[in-house]
Amino acid sequence: MANVQIADREPLSGQRPFAGSSAVAWSLAASGMIAAMLAPAIWNGFPIIFPDTGGYFTAPMVQQMANGRSALYGLFLYLGIPLSFWPSVVVQAALMAWLVAVTLRVNGLGGRPYLALGIVALLCIGTSLPWFAGQLMPDILFPAAALALYLLAYADAALARWERWLLGAVVAFAMASHMAAAGMAVAVIAAMALTHIRRLALPRARIALAAASVAAGIALCPVSNLLLTGHFAFTPGGSSFLFGRLVEDGMITRYLKDHCPDLTIRLCAYQNEIQEDADSWLWWGASPLYKMGGWAAYEPEASRIIHDTLTEYPLAHAATAIDAAFTQFFSFQTEVGIDDNGPARWAFEEFLPQLYPALLAARQQADPFDVEPLNVVHLPVAYFSLAALALAMLLRRRLGLSDRTYALCLVLLAALAANAIICGVFSHPVDRYQSRLVLLAPFVVAIIAARRIAGVPAPS
């Protein structure tokens, strides 16, 4: 089975997306999937916000680039303002519903609208899916991009032409919406390239369409910023996030002890004020970062210190990076910003006063809730799914996994690993970063189980 073009070995069902079922059934199922994914937002009375939400939708308003905030995703949110952002989250949920249906179809489970609805309903109970789909943040685009890349690379012959174009657009838009998504997509494409090494005995990817989508995403990042803010550049803030991680790991404190006093290092003046916590360094108003002028003003010195620490402490850098990546891979509790939404609330009050009362009336603000109890379910589901995924890959032959389903497992693991390395190393480990992607693990396990139960044979 190794090194065989997957698309040549499985049914070409892409031209008949509703085969075996009626359009009415699919409409009902799609409506149910979207409603399930938006249940937390509907219960909240307003789309879920995050501290960063305001930084996104204000970027195209003020036509300025914000650290770590994509102006393109901000434009996407901006278009939903007339209807209180509800169109934005409906589109996000509809996109995920479509991707679920297409992924089921190319894995031999097409024509089963209520299977798709049932799987999505279970994912909404057992994972963070609805909390990201209904949130005004680009996090939901991470699993969307992973599925889109998989479909383009391993199921292109089972897709209609319009589906290929739409999947390519999803990849490009996700990459331009968040630099970590861009890094993840590039890493997944690199992993797919390994499938062309014969001795690895992996399913081979038809990489052209997926690679073209990633290339388009890379180009869209600076082009969209140019069109919306007048700056032809990638979204800024990367060195500041990395510096924050080095603060948290104690690397900066070590560097200052070795070099201060030094009049060429501005941070020496604040050596005793540094709290070894990345979030405090980056976001706390009394942080030395803001006393030195903020992100942009301090960026030149931050970049210089990062370079110096790499030169002076290479082994410590490697050790902390590995630890951060490993920690990030297994950090995926569901979390929702409740107590720290001040920046988003300020943006609403300043730029969208007409929506401010509705925002304050939402449960997230008026009657703060705690999502921590959800992790009593979400964490065991995630751990079990990752273990089941690994076991299924080891028992691939015995379970009769098709090349296409096995490839889905590979893409998900590559995406999870890439996301953990990018976010853990170049920012710092945060549950939200991995939670937004690990929700696909139960989905893949559900596909494997459904194929077994339905008796879908692996291609011979």
Instruction: Return the pLDDT at 22.
Output: 86
Number of helices (H), then strands (E), in the chain? 25, 0
Q: pLDDT-based confidence at 459, cuts 50/70/90? A: low
Instruction: Return the pLDDT at 253.
Output: 93
Q: pLDDT-based confidence at 212, cuts 50/70/90? A: very high
Contacts of residue 125, Cβ cutoff 8 Å, sequence gap at least 6: 377
Q: pLDDT-based confidence at 16, cuts 50/70/90? A: low
Sign of CA dihedral 85, 88, 91, 92: negative
Q: Per-residue pLDDT tens for 242-299?
A: 999 999 999 999 999 999 999 999 999 999 998 888 888 988 888 999 999 988 899 9
Q: pLDDT-based confidence at 376, cuts 50/70/90? A: very high
Mean pLDDT throughout 142-149?
98
Please write down the long-range contacts of 16-20, taking CB distance under 8 Å and 24 or more positions apart.
17/101, 17/102, 17/105, 17/110, 17/160, 17/163, 18/111, 19/110, 19/111, 20/110, 20/111, 20/112
Q: Is the pTM here over 0.75, yes or no?
A: yes
Residue of 412 and 456 predicted with greater confidence: 412
Residue showing tokens 């199922």 = 29
Mean pLDDT throughout 185-197?
90
* Domains in the chain: boundaries: 22-235+335-454, 238-312
As a whole number of angstroms, the distance between CA 129 and CA 94 comes to 12
Instruction: Tell me which residue of 2, 20, 3 sits closest to 11, measured CA to CA.
Output: 20
Q: pLDDT-based confidence at 373, cuts 50/70/90? A: very high
Find the distance separating the first CA and the last CA of the chain, reported in whole Å.
Answer: 9
Instruction: Return the pLDDT at 458.
Output: 64
Residue 296 host element (H or E): helix 295-312
As a whole number of angstroms, the distance between CA 254 and CA 309 comes to 9
Instruction: Return the pLDDT at 68.
Output: 79
63 HSE (CA, 13 A, CB side):
6
3-state DSSP call for residue 21? coil
Instruction: Tell me which residue of 319, 318, 323, 326 sits closest to 416, measured CA to CA.
Output: 326
Residue of 305 and 196 predicted with greater confidence: 305
Exposed, middle or buried, 385 (CB in 10 Å: 0-12/13-18/19+)? buried
Contacts of residue 300, Cβ cutoff 8 Å, sequence gap at least 6: none
Residue of 455 and 74 predicted with greater confidence: 74
Distance of CA 161 to the CA centre of its chain: 26
pLDDT-above-70 percentage for the chain:
94
**Pure H helices in 105-230:** 113-126, 129-133, 141-154, 161-177, 179-193, 207-229
Sign of CA dihedral 180, 243, 325, 383: negative
* Rg of the chain taking only CA atoms, in angstroms: 23
